[in-house]
Structure 1
Amino acid sequence: MDRLRLPQNYLVFGLPLLMISAMVVLSMTATFKENVELFSIGVSFDLLITIPLVYFLLIRKTRIPKTTLVPLLVFSLIIGKYIIPGEHHYYLDLFKIWGLPVIEIFVLGFVILKVHKAIKQFNLNKENETDFYSILKKSCNELFPKPFVVPVVTEIAVFYYGFLYWKKRPIRTNEFLYHKESGSVSLLAVLIFLIIIETIVLHILLAMWSNTFAWLLSLLSAYSLIQIFGFMRSMSKRPVIIGQNKLYLRYGIMSEAVVKIEDIKAIEISSKDIELNSETRKLSFLGSLESHNLVLYLKRENTLYGLYGRKSTFKTLLLHIDEKHKFKEQIEVSVNFNAE
Protein backbone atom coordinates (compact mmCIF):
# COMPACT_ATOMS: atom_id res chain seq x y z
CA MET A 1 0.00 0.00 0.00
CA ASP A 2 2.80 2.47 0.93
CA ARG A 3 4.59 1.82 -2.37
CA LEU A 4 1.42 2.59 -4.29
CA ARG A 5 0.64 5.71 -2.24
CA LEU A 6 4.09 7.28 -2.68
CA PRO A 7 3.95 7.67 -6.51
CA GLN A 8 0.38 8.98 -6.17
CA ASN A 9 1.59 11.70 -3.78
CA TYR A 10 4.39 12.55 -6.20
CA LEU A 11 1.76 13.05 -8.90
CA VAL A 12 -0.55 15.10 -6.66
CA PHE A 13 2.13 17.58 -5.65
CA GLY A 14 4.57 17.14 -8.53
CA LEU A 15 2.21 17.89 -11.43
CA PRO A 16 1.03 21.31 -10.14
CA LEU A 17 4.63 22.27 -9.31
CA LEU A 18 5.73 21.15 -12.77
CA MET A 19 2.99 23.27 -14.36
CA ILE A 20 3.99 26.30 -12.25
CA SER A 21 7.64 25.75 -13.23
CA ALA A 22 6.56 25.67 -16.89
CA MET A 23 4.87 29.09 -16.40
CA VAL A 24 8.09 30.48 -14.89
CA VAL A 25 10.19 29.14 -17.79
CA LEU A 26 7.67 30.50 -20.32
CA SER A 27 7.89 33.98 -18.79
CA MET A 28 11.64 34.01 -19.49
CA THR A 29 11.33 33.27 -23.20
CA ALA A 30 11.58 35.81 -26.01
CA THR A 31 8.15 34.70 -27.30
CA PHE A 32 6.55 35.76 -24.00
CA LYS A 33 8.23 39.18 -24.13
CA GLU A 34 7.13 39.74 -27.73
CA ASN A 35 3.47 38.97 -26.88
CA VAL A 36 3.50 39.98 -23.22
CA GLU A 37 -0.13 41.16 -23.01
CA LEU A 38 -1.62 38.00 -24.52
CA PHE A 39 0.67 35.63 -22.61
CA SER A 40 0.09 37.50 -19.33
CA ILE A 41 -3.64 36.77 -19.61
CA GLY A 42 -2.92 33.10 -20.40
CA VAL A 43 -0.41 32.66 -17.57
CA SER A 44 -2.75 34.39 -15.10
CA PHE A 45 -5.58 32.07 -16.16
CA ASP A 46 -3.36 28.97 -15.79
CA LEU A 47 -1.97 30.01 -12.40
CA LEU A 48 -5.32 30.95 -10.88
CA ILE A 49 -7.71 28.48 -12.54
CA THR A 50 -6.09 25.65 -14.53
CA ILE A 51 -3.41 24.57 -12.02
CA PRO A 52 -5.68 24.79 -8.92
CA LEU A 53 -8.38 22.87 -10.84
CA VAL A 54 -5.89 20.12 -11.78
CA TYR A 55 -4.75 19.94 -8.13
CA PHE A 56 -8.35 19.73 -6.91
CA LEU A 57 -9.12 16.86 -9.31
CA LEU A 58 -5.98 15.03 -8.12
CA ILE A 59 -6.84 15.32 -4.40
CA ARG A 60 -10.62 14.88 -4.80
CA LYS A 61 -10.60 11.18 -3.87
CA THR A 62 -7.64 11.26 -1.49
CA ARG A 63 -7.36 12.06 2.23
CA ILE A 64 -5.47 15.27 1.45
CA PRO A 65 -7.57 18.16 2.85
CA LYS A 66 -9.37 20.29 0.26
CA THR A 67 -8.25 23.32 2.27
CA THR A 68 -4.70 22.80 0.92
CA LEU A 69 -6.05 24.38 -2.26
CA VAL A 70 -5.81 27.80 -0.57
CA PRO A 71 -2.00 27.74 0.00
CA LEU A 72 -1.59 26.63 -3.62
CA LEU A 73 -3.68 29.58 -4.83
CA VAL A 74 -1.68 32.01 -2.69
CA PHE A 75 1.58 30.49 -3.95
CA SER A 76 0.37 30.74 -7.57
CA LEU A 77 -0.64 34.37 -6.99
CA ILE A 78 2.82 35.22 -5.61
CA ILE A 79 4.53 33.50 -8.56
CA GLY A 80 2.24 35.39 -10.95
CA LYS A 81 3.15 38.71 -9.33
CA TYR A 82 6.81 37.83 -9.73
CA ILE A 83 6.87 36.60 -13.36
CA ILE A 84 4.21 38.86 -14.96
CA PRO A 85 5.12 42.55 -15.54
CA GLY A 86 3.38 44.98 -13.15
CA GLU A 87 1.29 46.68 -15.84
CA HIS A 88 -0.35 43.30 -16.63
CA HIS A 89 -1.42 42.42 -13.07
CA TYR A 90 -5.10 43.28 -13.74
CA TYR A 91 -6.43 39.71 -13.39
CA LEU A 92 -4.09 38.91 -10.51
CA ASP A 93 -5.24 42.01 -8.61
CA LEU A 94 -8.88 41.22 -9.42
CA PHE A 95 -8.46 37.75 -7.96
CA LYS A 96 -6.61 39.11 -4.92
CA ILE A 97 -9.39 41.62 -4.14
CA TRP A 98 -12.44 39.46 -4.90
CA GLY A 99 -11.45 35.83 -5.39
CA LEU A 100 -9.35 35.17 -2.28
CA PRO A 101 -11.86 36.66 0.23
CA VAL A 102 -14.67 34.52 -1.24
CA ILE A 103 -12.48 31.39 -1.03
CA GLU A 104 -11.53 32.28 2.57
CA ILE A 105 -15.24 32.51 3.49
CA PHE A 106 -15.85 29.06 1.98
CA VAL A 107 -12.84 27.63 3.87
CA LEU A 108 -14.05 29.19 7.13
CA GLY A 109 -17.48 27.63 6.56
CA PHE A 110 -15.83 24.26 5.86
CA VAL A 111 -13.79 24.46 9.09
CA ILE A 112 -16.90 25.37 11.12
CA LEU A 113 -18.72 22.38 9.59
CA LYS A 114 -15.79 20.09 10.51
CA VAL A 115 -15.80 21.40 14.09
CA HIS A 116 -19.55 20.80 14.33
CA LYS A 117 -19.08 17.21 13.08
CA ALA A 118 -16.21 16.70 15.52
CA ILE A 119 -18.41 17.79 18.45
CA LYS A 120 -21.18 15.41 17.35
CA GLN A 121 -18.69 12.56 16.91
CA PHE A 122 -17.14 13.35 20.29
CA ASN A 123 -20.54 13.09 22.00
CA LEU A 124 -21.20 9.73 20.28
CA ASN A 125 -17.83 8.30 21.35
CA LYS A 126 -18.31 9.63 24.88
CA GLU A 127 -21.01 7.02 25.48
CA ASN A 128 -18.43 4.20 25.23
CA GLU A 129 -15.35 5.90 26.73
CA THR A 130 -14.63 8.04 29.80
CA ASP A 131 -11.09 9.30 29.09
CA PHE A 132 -11.23 12.66 27.28
CA TYR A 133 -7.91 12.19 25.47
CA SER A 134 -8.93 8.75 24.11
CA ILE A 135 -12.33 10.08 22.98
CA LEU A 136 -10.67 13.07 21.31
CA LYS A 137 -8.18 10.87 19.40
CA LYS A 138 -10.92 8.51 18.24
CA SER A 139 -13.16 11.38 17.10
CA CYS A 140 -10.40 13.22 15.24
CA ASN A 141 -9.20 9.99 13.57
CA GLU A 142 -12.68 9.57 12.12
CA LEU A 143 -12.86 13.15 10.82
CA PHE A 144 -9.42 14.44 9.85
CA PRO A 145 -6.56 13.25 7.60
CA LYS A 146 -3.93 11.29 9.55
CA PRO A 147 -1.09 13.90 9.40
CA PHE A 148 -3.35 16.48 11.08
CA VAL A 149 -4.76 14.26 13.84
CA VAL A 150 -1.87 14.19 16.33
CA PRO A 151 -1.07 17.97 16.30
CA VAL A 152 -4.78 18.88 16.58
CA VAL A 153 -5.40 16.37 19.39
CA THR A 154 -2.31 17.47 21.34
CA GLU A 155 -3.10 21.19 21.16
CA ILE A 156 -6.75 20.68 22.19
CA ALA A 157 -5.76 18.31 25.01
CA VAL A 158 -3.14 20.73 26.38
CA PHE A 159 -5.71 23.53 26.58
CA TYR A 160 -8.43 21.23 27.98
CA TYR A 161 -6.35 19.72 30.78
CA GLY A 162 -4.55 22.98 31.50
CA PHE A 163 -7.48 25.36 31.70
CA LEU A 164 -10.86 23.61 31.43
CA TYR A 165 -10.72 20.38 33.44
CA TRP A 166 -10.47 21.44 37.10
CA LYS A 167 -12.99 19.03 38.57
CA LYS A 168 -11.40 16.51 40.93
CA ARG A 169 -11.40 13.05 39.37
CA PRO A 170 -12.47 10.13 41.62
CA ILE A 171 -9.94 7.26 41.55
CA ARG A 172 -11.37 3.75 41.26
CA THR A 173 -9.84 0.63 42.83
CA ASN A 174 -8.30 -0.45 39.50
CA GLU A 175 -6.78 2.99 38.82
CA PHE A 176 -3.36 4.12 40.01
CA LEU A 177 -1.76 7.55 40.28
CA TYR A 178 1.92 8.11 39.56
CA HIS A 179 2.57 11.83 40.07
CA LYS A 180 2.21 12.41 43.82
CA GLU A 181 5.40 10.69 45.03
CA SER A 182 7.55 10.73 41.89
CA GLY A 183 8.52 14.40 42.11
CA SER A 184 7.56 14.98 38.47
CA VAL A 185 5.01 17.72 39.26
CA SER A 186 7.56 19.59 41.38
CA LEU A 187 10.13 19.27 38.60
CA LEU A 188 7.73 20.67 35.99
CA ALA A 189 6.64 23.45 38.36
CA VAL A 190 10.29 24.49 38.84
CA LEU A 191 10.78 24.38 35.05
CA ILE A 192 7.75 26.68 34.58
CA PHE A 193 9.14 29.10 37.19
CA LEU A 194 12.58 29.16 35.52
CA ILE A 195 11.07 29.78 32.07
CA ILE A 196 9.03 32.71 33.46
CA ILE A 197 12.13 34.30 35.06
CA GLU A 198 14.27 33.68 31.96
CA THR A 199 11.58 35.09 29.66
CA ILE A 200 11.28 38.32 31.68
CA VAL A 201 15.07 38.84 31.78
CA LEU A 202 15.56 38.04 28.07
CA HIS A 203 12.62 40.25 27.09
CA ILE A 204 14.15 43.24 28.89
CA LEU A 205 17.58 42.63 27.33
CA LEU A 206 16.32 41.93 23.80
CA ALA A 207 13.95 44.92 23.85
CA MET A 208 17.05 47.15 23.90
CA TRP A 209 18.01 45.67 20.54
CA SER A 210 14.67 44.77 18.90
CA ASN A 211 11.25 45.18 20.51
CA THR A 212 9.63 42.96 17.86
CA PHE A 213 12.09 40.11 18.39
CA ALA A 214 11.71 40.44 22.18
CA TRP A 215 7.92 40.05 21.96
CA LEU A 216 8.24 37.18 19.48
CA LEU A 217 10.51 35.28 21.87
CA SER A 218 8.17 36.05 24.78
CA LEU A 219 5.19 34.68 22.84
CA LEU A 220 7.12 31.48 22.07
CA SER A 221 8.01 31.16 25.75
CA ALA A 222 4.36 31.72 26.72
CA TYR A 223 3.35 28.95 24.31
CA SER A 224 5.93 26.62 25.90
CA LEU A 225 4.59 27.47 29.36
CA ILE A 226 1.03 26.62 28.30
CA GLN A 227 2.27 23.30 26.89
CA ILE A 228 4.17 22.34 30.06
CA PHE A 229 1.29 23.44 32.30
CA GLY A 230 -1.16 21.32 30.25
CA PHE A 231 1.22 18.34 30.42
CA MET A 232 1.56 18.72 34.20
CA ARG A 233 -2.19 19.01 34.79
CA SER A 234 -2.99 15.99 32.59
CA MET A 235 -1.04 13.63 34.86
CA SER A 236 -3.61 13.66 37.67
CA LYS A 237 -6.48 13.21 35.19
CA ARG A 238 -5.13 10.15 33.35
CA PRO A 239 -4.25 7.39 35.84
CA VAL A 240 -2.82 3.99 34.94
CA ILE A 241 -5.70 1.51 34.66
CA ILE A 242 -5.73 -2.27 35.15
CA GLY A 243 -8.52 -3.54 32.90
CA GLN A 244 -9.97 -7.01 32.64
CA ASN A 245 -7.57 -8.10 29.90
CA LYS A 246 -5.33 -5.10 29.37
CA LEU A 247 -3.08 -2.73 31.27
CA TYR A 248 -3.52 0.92 30.22
CA LEU A 249 -0.23 2.66 30.97
CA ARG A 250 -0.37 6.45 30.85
CA TYR A 251 1.84 9.37 31.69
CA GLY A 252 -0.53 12.31 31.23
CA ILE A 253 -0.86 13.03 27.52
CA MET A 254 2.90 12.74 27.06
CA SER A 255 3.18 8.97 26.68
CA GLU A 256 1.01 5.87 26.80
CA ALA A 257 0.96 2.16 26.01
CA VAL A 258 -1.62 -0.61 26.10
CA VAL A 259 -0.29 -3.99 27.24
CA LYS A 260 -2.20 -7.26 27.27
CA ILE A 261 -1.96 -8.73 30.78
CA GLU A 262 -1.22 -12.14 29.25
CA ASP A 263 1.89 -10.60 27.64
CA ILE A 264 3.40 -9.62 31.00
CA LYS A 265 6.29 -11.95 31.85
CA ALA A 266 7.04 -10.43 35.26
CA ILE A 267 6.63 -7.28 37.32
CA GLU A 268 9.37 -6.28 39.75
CA ILE A 269 9.45 -3.63 42.47
CA SER A 270 12.81 -2.00 41.89
CA SER A 271 14.47 1.42 41.78
CA LYS A 272 17.84 0.17 40.51
CA ASP A 273 19.45 1.94 37.58
CA ILE A 274 18.77 0.17 34.29
CA GLU A 275 20.33 1.28 31.03
CA LEU A 276 17.76 2.46 28.49
CA ASN A 277 18.07 1.03 24.99
CA SER A 278 15.96 -0.12 22.02
CA GLU A 279 14.19 -2.71 24.18
CA THR A 280 14.14 -0.89 27.53
CA ARG A 281 12.13 2.32 27.82
CA LYS A 282 10.76 4.62 30.48
CA LEU A 283 7.06 5.53 30.61
CA SER A 284 7.92 9.02 31.86
CA PHE A 285 8.89 11.50 29.14
CA LEU A 286 11.32 13.04 31.65
CA GLY A 287 13.63 10.05 31.27
CA SER A 288 16.46 9.87 33.79
CA LEU A 289 15.23 13.05 35.52
CA GLU A 290 12.48 10.98 37.16
CA SER A 291 13.08 7.81 39.15
CA HIS A 292 11.10 4.59 38.72
CA ASN A 293 9.94 2.07 41.31
CA LEU A 294 8.58 -0.70 39.06
CA VAL A 295 9.99 -2.70 36.16
CA LEU A 296 7.59 -4.40 33.75
CA TYR A 297 8.98 -7.29 31.69
CA LEU A 298 7.03 -8.41 28.61
CA LYS A 299 7.01 -11.67 26.65
CA ARG A 300 6.82 -9.84 23.33
CA GLU A 301 7.54 -6.41 21.93
CA ASN A 302 5.04 -3.59 22.49
CA THR A 303 4.70 0.03 21.35
CA LEU A 304 5.09 3.15 23.47
CA TYR A 305 3.41 6.27 22.05
CA GLY A 306 5.05 9.57 22.94
CA LEU A 307 4.39 13.24 22.30
CA TYR A 308 3.04 14.17 18.85
CA GLY A 309 2.65 10.53 17.85
CA ARG A 310 6.29 9.50 18.30
CA LYS A 311 6.54 5.70 18.52
CA SER A 312 9.13 3.45 20.16
CA THR A 313 9.14 -0.27 20.86
CA PHE A 314 9.96 -1.94 24.17
CA LYS A 315 10.06 -5.27 25.99
CA THR A 316 11.01 -3.80 29.36
CA LEU A 317 9.30 -0.70 30.76
CA LEU A 318 10.37 1.38 33.76
CA LEU A 319 7.61 3.31 35.52
CA HIS A 320 6.60 4.91 38.78
CA ILE A 321 3.35 4.03 40.58
CA ASP A 322 2.49 5.66 43.91
CA GLU A 323 0.89 2.48 45.32
CA LYS A 324 3.41 0.08 43.83
CA HIS A 325 2.65 -2.94 46.07
CA LYS A 326 -1.11 -2.75 45.46
CA PHE A 327 -0.49 -2.32 41.73
CA LYS A 328 1.78 -5.38 41.57
CA GLU A 329 -0.66 -7.50 43.56
CA GLN A 330 -3.63 -6.58 41.36
CA ILE A 331 -1.78 -7.59 38.20
CA GLU A 332 -0.52 -10.86 39.68
CA VAL A 333 -4.01 -11.94 40.83
CA SER A 334 -5.49 -11.22 37.40
CA VAL A 335 -6.86 -14.35 35.69
CA ASN A 336 -4.95 -13.44 32.51
CA PHE A 337 -1.57 -13.06 34.23
CA ASN A 338 0.75 -15.98 33.59
CA ALA A 339 4.29 -15.28 34.75
CA GLU A 340 7.25 -17.13 33.25
Structure 2
Amino acid sequence: MPQIIGNILAAEISVVYYGLFNWRKRKLKENEFSYHKESTANSVILGFLLVIVVEAFVTHSMIKVGNSKGTFILTTLSIYTFLQVLALIKSLSRRPVFIDLKKKQVVLKFGILANAIIPFETIKEIEVSTKEFSEKSPIKYFSPLGSSSGHNVIIYLNKNIKFESFYGFKKKATSLAVFIDAKNDFVNLN
Protein backbone atom coordinates (compact mmCIF):
# COMPACT_ATOMS: atom_id res chain seq x y z
CA MET A 1 0.00 0.00 0.00
CA PRO A 2 1.18 3.57 -0.55
CA GLN A 3 3.28 5.02 2.26
CA ILE A 4 0.86 7.81 3.13
CA ILE A 5 -2.02 5.34 3.53
CA GLY A 6 0.22 3.07 5.60
CA ASN A 7 1.20 5.99 7.86
CA ILE A 8 -2.43 7.00 8.39
CA LEU A 9 -3.45 3.40 9.07
CA ALA A 10 -0.57 2.94 11.55
CA ALA A 11 -1.54 6.17 13.35
CA GLU A 12 -5.16 5.08 13.65
CA ILE A 13 -4.17 1.61 14.90
CA SER A 14 -1.91 3.21 17.53
CA VAL A 15 -4.82 5.41 18.67
CA VAL A 16 -7.00 2.33 19.21
CA TYR A 17 -4.14 0.38 20.82
CA TYR A 18 -3.12 3.07 23.31
CA GLY A 19 -6.67 4.37 23.85
CA LEU A 20 -8.38 1.05 24.50
CA PHE A 21 -5.91 -1.76 25.14
CA ASN A 22 -2.57 -0.69 26.60
CA TRP A 23 -3.39 -0.03 30.26
CA ARG A 24 -0.35 -1.54 31.99
CA LYS A 25 2.28 0.80 33.37
CA ARG A 26 5.70 0.55 31.74
CA LYS A 27 8.93 0.72 33.69
CA LEU A 28 11.88 2.50 32.14
CA LYS A 29 14.74 0.30 31.02
CA GLU A 30 18.41 1.17 30.89
CA ASN A 31 19.12 4.22 28.70
CA GLU A 32 15.42 5.18 28.52
CA PHE A 33 14.20 8.59 29.63
CA SER A 34 10.71 9.84 30.40
CA TYR A 35 9.53 13.26 29.29
CA HIS A 36 5.99 13.43 30.66
CA LYS A 37 6.36 13.59 34.44
CA GLU A 38 7.68 17.12 34.92
CA SER A 39 6.72 18.82 31.65
CA THR A 40 3.57 20.79 31.05
CA ALA A 41 2.52 18.48 28.19
CA ASN A 42 0.15 16.41 30.37
CA SER A 43 -1.55 19.54 31.68
CA VAL A 44 -2.03 20.95 28.19
CA ILE A 45 -3.38 17.66 26.86
CA LEU A 46 -5.69 17.20 29.87
CA GLY A 47 -6.97 20.72 29.15
CA PHE A 48 -7.80 19.62 25.60
CA LEU A 49 -9.56 16.56 27.03
CA LEU A 50 -11.70 18.75 29.30
CA VAL A 51 -12.63 21.02 26.41
CA ILE A 52 -13.63 18.00 24.31
CA VAL A 53 -15.89 16.64 27.08
CA VAL A 54 -17.58 20.01 27.65
CA GLU A 55 -17.90 20.66 23.90
CA ALA A 56 -19.41 17.21 23.30
CA PHE A 57 -21.99 17.66 26.05
CA VAL A 58 -23.00 21.16 24.95
CA THR A 59 -23.09 20.31 21.23
CA HIS A 60 -25.06 17.13 21.86
CA SER A 61 -27.58 19.03 23.99
CA MET A 62 -28.00 21.79 21.39
CA ILE A 63 -28.37 19.55 18.37
CA LYS A 64 -30.48 16.90 20.09
CA VAL A 65 -33.51 19.13 19.74
CA GLY A 66 -33.26 19.47 15.96
CA ASN A 67 -31.28 16.96 13.91
CA SER A 68 -30.83 13.39 15.17
CA LYS A 69 -28.37 12.42 12.39
CA GLY A 70 -26.26 15.50 13.10
CA THR A 71 -26.34 14.70 16.81
CA PHE A 72 -25.16 11.15 16.16
CA ILE A 73 -22.34 12.28 13.85
CA LEU A 74 -21.06 15.01 16.18
CA THR A 75 -21.29 12.74 19.24
CA THR A 76 -19.35 10.01 17.39
CA LEU A 77 -16.67 12.53 16.34
CA SER A 78 -16.41 13.84 19.90
CA ILE A 79 -16.01 10.31 21.28
CA TYR A 80 -13.31 9.49 18.73
CA THR A 81 -11.49 12.77 19.43
CA PHE A 82 -11.64 11.92 23.14
CA LEU A 83 -10.13 8.50 22.33
CA GLN A 84 -7.33 10.15 20.30
CA VAL A 85 -6.41 12.53 23.12
CA LEU A 86 -6.61 9.72 25.70
CA ALA A 87 -4.30 7.59 23.51
CA LEU A 88 -1.85 10.50 23.31
CA ILE A 89 -1.76 10.93 27.09
CA LYS A 90 -1.23 7.21 27.66
CA SER A 91 1.42 6.94 24.93
CA LEU A 92 3.59 9.64 26.55
CA SER A 93 4.50 7.33 29.44
CA ARG A 94 4.74 4.20 27.28
CA ARG A 95 7.04 5.53 24.53
CA PRO A 96 10.17 6.90 26.23
CA VAL A 97 13.18 8.57 24.68
CA PHE A 98 15.92 6.00 24.16
CA ILE A 99 19.68 6.24 23.68
CA ASP A 100 20.75 3.25 21.64
CA LEU A 101 24.45 2.77 22.35
CA LYS A 102 24.75 -0.22 19.99
CA LYS A 103 23.39 1.63 16.96
CA LYS A 104 24.87 4.93 18.18
CA GLN A 105 21.70 6.95 17.93
CA VAL A 106 19.19 8.87 20.01
CA VAL A 107 15.57 7.85 19.48
CA LEU A 108 13.29 10.74 20.40
CA LYS A 109 9.57 10.18 20.83
CA PHE A 110 6.63 12.30 21.82
CA GLY A 111 3.87 9.79 22.43
CA ILE A 112 2.19 8.79 19.19
CA LEU A 113 2.70 12.26 17.70
CA ALA A 114 6.39 12.44 16.82
CA ASN A 115 9.48 10.26 16.26
CA ALA A 116 13.07 11.14 15.42
CA ILE A 117 16.18 9.03 15.07
CA ILE A 118 19.35 11.09 15.48
CA PRO A 119 22.69 9.37 14.78
CA PHE A 120 25.43 10.33 17.23
CA GLU A 121 27.63 11.69 14.42
CA THR A 122 25.00 14.34 13.54
CA ILE A 123 24.91 15.71 17.11
CA LYS A 124 27.11 18.78 17.49
CA GLU A 125 26.18 19.63 21.08
CA ILE A 126 23.55 18.95 23.71
CA GLU A 127 22.78 21.83 26.04
CA VAL A 128 20.65 21.92 29.19
CA SER A 129 18.64 25.08 28.63
CA THR A 130 15.20 26.57 29.06
CA LYS A 131 16.02 29.77 27.19
CA GLU A 132 13.30 31.27 25.05
CA PHE A 133 13.77 31.52 21.29
CA SER A 134 11.81 33.13 18.48
CA GLU A 135 9.80 31.35 15.81
CA LYS A 136 12.45 32.41 13.27
CA SER A 137 15.13 30.61 15.25
CA PRO A 138 16.68 27.49 13.68
CA ILE A 139 15.74 25.67 16.91
CA LYS A 140 12.46 23.77 16.51
CA TYR A 141 10.31 22.24 19.21
CA PHE A 142 10.22 18.47 18.87
CA SER A 143 6.83 18.35 20.60
CA PRO A 144 3.91 19.08 18.26
CA LEU A 145 2.51 21.15 21.13
CA GLY A 146 5.34 23.63 20.57
CA SER A 147 6.37 25.96 23.36
CA SER A 148 3.33 25.05 25.47
CA SER A 149 4.95 21.71 26.38
CA GLY A 150 8.22 23.39 27.37
CA HIS A 151 11.80 22.28 26.89
CA ASN A 152 14.88 21.81 29.04
CA VAL A 153 17.36 20.35 26.53
CA ILE A 154 18.45 21.65 23.15
CA ILE A 155 20.09 19.24 20.71
CA TYR A 156 22.25 21.09 18.17
CA LEU A 157 22.94 19.16 14.97
CA ASN A 158 25.65 19.57 12.35
CA LYS A 159 23.17 18.92 9.51
CA ASN A 160 19.44 18.89 8.83
CA ILE A 161 17.52 15.85 9.96
CA LYS A 162 13.99 14.77 9.07
CA PHE A 163 11.63 13.51 11.71
CA GLU A 164 8.09 12.18 11.63
CA SER A 165 5.02 13.84 13.00
CA PHE A 166 1.51 12.37 13.34
CA TYR A 167 0.20 10.55 10.23
CA GLY A 168 3.78 10.33 8.94
CA PHE A 169 4.20 13.99 8.01
CA LYS A 170 7.90 14.90 7.78
CA LYS A 171 9.55 17.90 9.40
CA LYS A 172 13.12 19.20 9.15
CA ALA A 173 15.32 20.66 11.85
CA THR A 174 18.94 21.61 12.54
CA SER A 175 18.32 21.94 16.29
CA LEU A 176 15.62 20.42 18.46
CA ALA A 177 14.22 21.64 21.79
CA VAL A 178 12.98 18.71 23.87
CA PHE A 179 11.88 18.03 27.42
CA ILE A 180 13.60 15.20 29.33
CA ASP A 181 12.74 14.52 32.99
CA ALA A 182 16.27 13.37 33.89
CA LYS A 183 17.99 15.95 31.70
CA ASN A 184 21.44 15.74 33.32
CA ASP A 185 21.57 11.93 33.02
CA PHE A 186 20.47 12.25 29.39
CA VAL A 187 23.19 14.78 28.56
CA ASN A 188 25.90 12.83 30.40
CA LEU A 189 25.03 9.59 28.59
CA ASN A 190 25.56 11.20 25.19
Instruction: Give yes or no for contact 2:4–2:168 (8 Å, CA) kept in 1.
Output: no
Among 157, 167, 171, the alignment partner of 1:308 is 167
Instruction: Give yes or no for contact 1:297–1:316 (8 Å, CA) kept in 2.
Output: yes
**Structure with the largest fraction of helix:** 1
Report what 2:62 is aligned to: 205
Report what 1:255 is aligned to: 114
How many angstroms does 1:246 deviate by?
0.4
Instruction: Give yes or no for contact 1:266–1:296 (8 Å, CA) kept in 2.
Output: yes
RMSD: 1.4
**Structure with the largest fraction of strand:** 2
Deviation track 1:127-146 (CA, whole Å, cap 9, x = no partner) reads xxxxxxxxxxxxxxxxx332
Report what 2:34 is aligned to: 177
1:266 equivalent to 2:125? Answer: yes
Distance in 2 of aligned mates of 1:197 and 1:288: 25
Instruction: Give yes or no for contact 2:106–2:119 (8 Å, CA) kept in 1.
Output: yes
1:286 equivalent to 2:156? Answer: no
1:235 equivalent to 2:114? Answer: no
Instruction: Give yes or no for contact 1:235–1:252 (8 Å, CA) kept in 2.
Output: yes
Report what 1:196 is aligned to: 53
Distance in 2 of aligned mates of 1:183 and 1:290: 5
Q: TM-score, normalising length from structure 1? A: 0.53
Q: Which gives a bigger RCO, structure 1 or 2 (Cα 8 Å, sep 6+)?
A: 2
- Helix, strand or coil: the match of 1:229? helix
Distance in 2 of aligned mates of 1:297 and 1:267: 6
Instruction: Give yes or no for contact 1:278–1:313 (8 Å, CA) kept in 2.
Output: no
Q: Which runs of 5+ in 1 are unaligned?
A: 1-143, 332-340
Tell me which amino acid in the other structure corresponds to 1:231: L
1:224 equivalent to 2:84? Answer: no
How many angstroms does 1:190 deviate by?
2.2
Change (3 A) 1:155 1:219: same
Q: Which runs of 5+ in 2 are unaligned?
A: none
Instruction: Give yes or no for contact 2:139–2:173 (8 Å, CA) kept in 1.
Output: yes
Report what 1:246 is aligned to: 105
Deviation track 1:275-328 (CA, whole Å, cap 9, x = no partner) reads 234843111111121111111100111012101111111001000000001111
Report what 1:123 is aligned to: none
Query: May I ask how many residue pairs the two structures share in their alignment?
Result: 188
Alignment of structure 1 residues 25-104 onto 2, 5 Å:
none
Q: TM-score, normalising length from structure 2? A: 0.94
- Helix, strand or coil: the match of 2:134? coil
